Each structure stands twice: as C-alpha cells, then as structure tokens.
Amino acid sequence: MTGYALKTVEFEDYTVHCEIKSLNNKFLEVKFRLPPYMPEIENRLRKLMKVSVKRGKVEVYIRVEVKERTEFEIIKSLLRKYYGIIREIEDTADFHLQVSVSELLGMKNILGHHEEYSYIDLPSERIVGVFEQTLSAFNESRYIEGENTKMDITEYIGAIMKSLKKIEDACPAIVERYKAQIKERIQELLDDKVDETRLMIEVGIFASKVDISEEISRINSHVERALGLIESDESCGRELDFIIQELNREINTIGSKVGDYAVSEEVINTKTMLEKIKEQVRNIE
C-alpha cells in the first residue's frame, strides 16, 4: 500500500504540482489538499483514486504556481478592485483616504486571497490530467513495492516449509525415543520383564498424541493458497491476514502436541517467519 509520486506540469500561465503518497491502513482513507478555488473537482479525483486504490492512508496535495506575468496581471486586478472599494468608501463616508500600494495589497487579508482570480484561466480538465499522470506513477511505485514484498513473503514461506520438514522428520525419532524410555522404565520396575503388547499400546497412544499429519496438511493447504494469492492481480491483503492467523494457530497446535526441544526450536523459527510475513501483509492491498 505504500507509494509515492510527484509530478510537475508547466502550462502557459502557471505550473501545477501534484503529489500523492500513502501509508499502510486497513481501509481506504484519502485526504485532499487542493487550492481553495477548485473544491468542485475533489469528488471527481476521489472517484479516480478509488478505481485503482483499495486500501491505504493516501494524501493528495495539488498546488498551482502562477507564473510571473500572470501574477502581475492578478496583482493589477487586485489593486483595481481594492482601489475601487476605497473610492466607494470615500464617496459614501464623504472623507478622503490616503492608502499606499502595500496597504492596498494588505487588504487581501480582509477580502480574500488573490488565488481566486487564477481559476479563470485554470480549466479543471488540466488539473485532472496532471492528477491522472501522478496517479499512474503512484501506482507504478506501489507495484514495484509489491514485487519486493512478494519476494520477501515467498522467501519467508520457504523458510517455514523447511522448518516443517525438519519437524516431520523429527517426529518418528521422538516416538522411538519415547518407546525406549518406556521400555527402560518397565524393565527397572519389573526386573527386565516387559509386556511387549502393553508396550506397543503405550507407544501407540503416545504416537497418536504427537501425530501432526492433519496440522501439516492444513498448513500446506494454507501455504498453497497464500502463494496463489500473492501471484494474482486481485486485492488479497485481508485474506492473507486471515491465512496468517490460521497458520499461526496450526503452528501453536504442533508446539503443544510435540514437546521435544528440536521441534520447539523449529516452532519458534516458524512463528518468527510468520511475524515477518504479517508485517509484510500490512503493506498489501
């Protein structure tokens, strides 16, 4: 969701600067900072934004810089306007006012800023055009960021699958160690007389308790879905959030079932990778 773009387009009488930047957010939140004389185009720009941006806290800043020649004409118009007001006051109040040019220009603080005049030669289509150019560059920056995020997530998922493979490989040895421990205890208690049937029952119960085949199967399914989502062109941030929660739940179940140190170590590694993925998913629309 993070992205940034800045475009500057020069026209005959003015230059338009448009800046778009975004941060992570669960929902789409767009704030516009536009010149005061063009509030009517905000809804149009907002609709254009919603077509390509679904999540994120987005700020749009558009500034119009009037060129010197045009600025001069605006100032002349202001002086004529303010001077006319002064003369009207004199005629009405029947007294004469001595006002300097700087004092006339200072009247803008009372009567409004001169930007209102520049709108006359500022078609909204030009503003929209500059915004569309900036939005295109903004989306391109987000695409590049998305590709980097996809690579990171794929790498983390690969590390998770390696840890799961180690856990799977460790489980048979854990059962065998338990069998040896139980047999040794029975021999100590019964003077080397071991009931093999009873031993196998105990081992079978233990093996059932530490069986994680269902958890592994569900994890593989979730991972396959996650990889499919990050390769698609659709919005997938919310679904990936849910998948990460499910993966975390399955890993916790494995950790509670198998108390072996080697398995616990891989569970911790896996949860660390999931946290890293979770951080990256926050940046996915």
Q: According to the model, what pLDDT value does residue 73 have?
A: 63
> Under a CB-based contact definition with an 8 Å cutoff, are residues 41 and 128 in contact?
yes
Quickly list H helices, 97-193.
101-105, 108-111, 115-118, 124-190
What residue type is assigned to position 204 of the chain?
G
Higher pLDDT, 73 or 235: 235
- Residue 246: C-alpha distances to residues 179, 209, 225, 284 (Å): 32, 21, 12, 18
Reported as a pLDDT band with limits 50, 70 and 90, residue 21 is very high
Q: Looking at the predicted structure, is the pLDDT value of residue 71 above 80?
A: no
Pair of tokens at residue 96: 């004469």
56-66 and 28-33 as β-strands: parallel, antiparallel, unpaired? parallel
Query: What is the DSSP secondary-structure string of 79-111?
Result: HHHHHHHHHHHHHHHT------HHHHHTTHHHH
Pair of tokens at residue 56: 């994120």
Q: What average pLDDT does range 94-105 have in this prediction? A: 63
Chain segment 190-202, per-residue pLDDT in tens: 555 656 676 677 6
Chain segment 165-222, per-residue pLDDT in tens: 888 888 777 767 766 666 666 665 555 565 667 667 766 776 677 778 888 889 999 9
> Does the pTM of the predicted model rise above 0.75?
no
Go through 9-33 and write b for each residue having 16 or more CB atoms within 10 A of its CB, e for each that does not.
eeeebbebebbbbbebeeebebebe
DSSP 234: S
Locate the domains of the chain by residue range. 69-116, 143-281
Q: CB within 8 A of 272, min separation 6: which ones?
A: none
Q: Which helix (H) or strand (E) holds 21?
A: strand 14-23
* Residue 235 φ/ψ, nearest 5 degrees: -65, 130
The number of beta carbons lying within 10 Å of the beta carbon of residue 58 is: 22
Task: Find the farthest-apart pair of alpha carbons in the chain and give their distance in angstroms, rounded.
Answer: 127
14-23 and 56-66 as β-strands: parallel, antiparallel, unpaired? antiparallel
Q: According to the model, what pLDDT value does residue 230 have?
A: 86
